[in-house]
Amino acid sequence: MNRPKNTSFADRLSAAAEAKKAQLERAAQARSEAESPAAIKRRMARDAVKVARDARIAERRATKLAIEAHQAAVLAAAQVAEAAAREAALKAEQEARDAEFAERTAREAALEADHSGPFAGRAATGVPVKVPGCGVYEFDLVNRKITVARIYFEVATLLKQISSHQPQVLQELLMSWFASQFVSSSGSASEQLSH
C-alpha cells in the first residue's frame, strides 16, 4: 500500500516539475518574442499612438484655454470701453451743466429806495422803503452781455410800507393793484383764447 501512494506522489511531483518547466519555457519564448523586431515595432507603434493621443488631448486643452482667454480679453475690453463711454458721458453732462450755470445766475438783494414818484395809483410820499427780492440773469458769454433779467420782489410789502400810516389807503392800493393784475392777466388770457 505504501508503494502506490509514493507513485502517485512521484507522479504528482513529476507533473508539477513538467508544468514549471513548461511555464519557464513559455516565459522564455515570450521574452524572446518580446525582444523580436516585430514585437519591438508593435510596442513602438502602441507608444506612438499613445503619444499622439496625449498630444491631441493637450492640443484640445490648449485650444480651449486660448478660446477662454480670448473671450475673457474681449469681455474685459468691452467692459473697459463701456466704462470709458460712461465716464465720457458723465463728463459731458457735467460740462453741459457747468456751461448752463455759467450762462445763468440768480442774486438775492434788498431793494431800497424812497417813494419819490407815483406807484400803483399812489402819489409820492417820500417814505423810505426796503423790499426783499431776487434777480435771475442770463448771459451771452461770447458777447459778454446780459440777455435776460427777471427781477422778483414782494409788491405787498412795498405797498404796505408806502401806506403804513394810512390803513384804508393800503387796502385800496392792494385792491387796485390786484385788480389791475387780474385784468391784465385775464385780458391776455382772453386774447390768447380768441387767437
**Alpha helices by DSSP H, the chain:** 2-34, 37-102, 155-162, 167-194
C-alpha 101, offset from chain centre: 26
Confidence at residue 38, expressed as pLDDT on a 0 to 100 scale? 80
Confidence at residue 184, expressed as pLDDT on a 0 to 100 scale? 58
Does any domain span residue 157?
A: yes
How confident is the chain (195 residues) per 10-residue block, as mean pLDDT? 64 89 87 77 90 95 95 93 94 80 78 83 82 87 84 82 68 72 54 42
| Phi–psi pair at 123, nearest 5 degrees | -70, 160
Cα-based distances in Å from 105 to 92, 110, 140, 149, 150: 21, 17, 12, 10, 11
Contact in structure between 166 and 109 (CB atoms under 8 Å): no
The residue written with cell numbers 469681455 in the block is 75
C-alpha 106, offset from chain centre: 34
Does any domain span residue 4?
A: no
Does any domain span residue 47?
A: no
Does any domain span residue 88?
A: no
Does any domain span residue 180?
A: yes
Number of domains, the chain:
1
In the beta sheet, which residues pair with residue 135?
Answer: 107, 151
CA distance linking residue 59 with residue 46, whole number of Å: 20
Does any domain span residue 72?
A: no
Domain that includes residue 123, residue range? 105-194
Does any domain span residue 127?
A: yes
Confidence at residue 188, expressed as pLDDT on a 0 to 100 scale? 45
Cα-based distances in Å from 170 to 3, 4, 58, 155, 174: 159, 157, 100, 12, 6
Confidence at residue 166, expressed as pLDDT on a 0 to 100 scale? 62
Confidence at residue 72, expressed as pLDDT on a 0 to 100 scale? 93
SS3 category, 144? coil
